[in-house]
Structure 1
Amino acid sequence: ADGTYYYANNSGYIQTGWLHKGSWYYLDQDGKMVVGDYFINDQYYYFNSNGDLQLGWYYRDNQYYYLDSNAVLVKGWNKITNKWYYFNDQGIMQTGWQLINNQRFYLNASGDMHTGWLKSGNEWYYLNKSGVMVTGWAQIGWKWYYFNEDGAAVKDDVVIDGKTYTFRDDYSWISNCTRKEFVERAKRYLGCNEKDGSFKKIIDSYNKLDPLPRGYKVKYTDSWCMTFVSAIVRECNLLDIIPVECSCGKAVEKAQSMGIWQENDAYVPQIGDIIMYDWDDNGNGDNTGWPDHVGIVTEVNGNTFKVIEGNKNDAVEYRTMNVNSKYIRGFITPKFLS
């Protein structure tokens, strides 16, 4: 009469406890079918207006909750249909900025964890692959950015640790790396070799490029002359002005498309220029073969110049060349700011 449901078993007795009839139901100690919130053995469950045990998402009092396959109200981080959600201690799905274990996350209006770029108010933020808000320096794609202590990306001129850096309107850092600094960076690897394994840090540096050129991750067993040059380019944040590749030939193609390829073998290089070699050069006419090797020009003295090369005798070593000498395929001539 009062709308309460009971269930009598085949013996005519009123049943209590769990009952499975297509769905799960629960009958209290008096045999009444439970609806709404109910604690059973200190565990929270929710039964809809028909008494069915609720599974999955449900909405109540302007809040979303989720009950797992055991009908248990979830709390904390949970992965649901390949997306991450966070539920507080009351099981309420959270949205917006959240401080969790001293790390900041952003949960979209639908509750799923945000990754990547995010505009919030007038500022841009970046959430890494784990959803954590980034602060400080971060390489995203092939560009570097700086995020202040509040997580906001900076632009224009900014003093960081006593040094002034310039950032574009898209918040990416404009490298002011000079030709000399580019060369000095390369010299840090002088002597690294395959015998003691020290060359591996060059490969590891290159493989930090994201995305990797042509999607290829360089192996320690690969030739690594162009990988060496590209690692220095990455470390100096010169990706806007120098092509990165693990293939000499592909690097030449990119340099040609960027308008920084010098075909003339008689060209007198500047420090910081990149020389390409072709060991099949017969010395007659212009060398137009596929490039086999590469290095960075470190010194120029009249008609001679010095080059630092990776994978020369399985190590980072110097070579001295003459202008317009045999084996020169051409030069990549970056447009440094200074």
Structure 2
Amino acid sequence: TNSTSVSKGTQNAVSQQSKADVAVSDANSLKSDSKLAAVASVADSSQPQNGWWKDEDYYWYYFENGEPVKDKLKTIGNYTYHFLYDGKMDTNNTFGYESGLGYNYYRVDDQGHLVKGWYQNYWGDWYYYDKKTGQAFTGLQTIDNQKYYFNTYNYGKMSTNEEVEYQHKYYRTDENGHLVKGWYKKYYSWYYYDNNGVRVSGYRPINGKGYYFYFDYDGQMIDDDKAHIFDGVFYYINGSGIVLKRQAITKDEWVRVGNDWYYVKNSHGGEFLSDETATLGGRTYHFDRDGKMSKNCSVIDYYQNMLYYYGSDGALVLKKMDADNDGWVKSGNNWYYVKDKDLVKSEFFGVDGHTYHFDFNGRMSTNYVTIYRNVFYYFGANGALSMKRNASRNGWIKAGNDWYYVKNRTLVKGEFFGVGGHTYHFDSSGKMSANYATTYKNAFYYFRSDGALSMKQTITKDGWIKASNNWYYVKNKSLVRDQLINVGRYTYYMYANGKMAVNTTIRYYDSATHKYVSYRVDSKGHVIK
């Protein structure tokens, strides 16, 4: 236990003044010690009635009423000493006395003086002893406005570079023994310690900047860019650890996160569908192992050798037996082509001597035009390429029954465009609009059957507008499209092109319930439910 007593140095949290209090007596102090004032000569073997005495082996004792002080702490003059069970004065030693809560530890230096304040041993470990009692600090302690943790084992050694548990809370110390506060990275994981140095867990705001994070039971910040359920609550946490979505699970329902969907169930303390297929609202969906609804992708059932393809809305589009073989697959009114266990998408593709185009969902394009490398392509009603034409000059091109306009080797799309003194509208595919209504900058526009603009009306309020024997409804200066509306005592259905439905039966998809419903519409446009 021989040690060297030195000051703790000029580390950030402990002042130079406090560390100068390390309890080490100057070697010259022995000359003025009270021991010399009352000591018997080594040659004189007689023991005093009271005072210091040194035996022939150079051990010191202290007598009171003719008896040596034994097994206790004793203050003599300006110093406190420790005497062993046989009366010898203790030196260079750490010792303890049992208390009701364990042991209280003390240390004496090479002069036998009880150490008080900071002390560093031979191996560089730091301890702190109470300046009044000399008792070693243990547990969480504040010294000169800086918090430290001293181990309750190992005689009160100051903790450095480790995590410690104290009174059911977790703390971390740095290389100087100071409690870590704020963010801390260990290997590839992040942790956060609050202003008291306590490691946080659970759902927490950090730094008051509006961001929330989730820390697991061990304090590790979750940053896996996935969905989770904790204590009946759905969380989505991005790759930076920020909680993007938090929603209590009270019923079975869809949960949206950005462009992705999950389906949660109010069972077993809250869960979401994952790595499975489920029929919901009459439609079939697939959820990957992280719970995300699959879309625009193929899923292979290798056990049954079946291919399933889920579209942009996540619903099952098609299934194909014998997934190992390439070939055509029809689903609903659409054709798809499977190659290498996936759909051909977003490309020209040759099959049996014909060229086809497939969109980003894998659907074969019909009545479709595009310009690629200065060439105008038209794919007819059967999907096969039926027309190629040089597109290097500006002008009209007719393909099938539709008109297109090429300018600067590009199709005019999604805009009003003037040609030959008339104004036309071209949709997002480049097709000239005919018998078409729209609103733009507080005005209603109608383009007749030859595509030319024939009506323009300023919008001043919500209401009906009639154009070419069809009725349209304007609300908030925009056409109402593809929805049911209530006007007065009646309900009407407006098609996607804005026209009011009459004398028909409509099949309407309710996005709130994910179900289709059918309604009858009379000659006046009234919906009969």
Q: Which structure has greater strand proportion?
A: 2
TM-score, normalised to structure 1, is 0.47
Q: Flag the structure with higher helix content.
A: 1
TM-score, normalised to structure 2's length?
0.32
Name the structure, 1 or 2, with higher relative contact order (CA <8 Å, separation 6+): 1
**Bigger Rg, which one:** 2
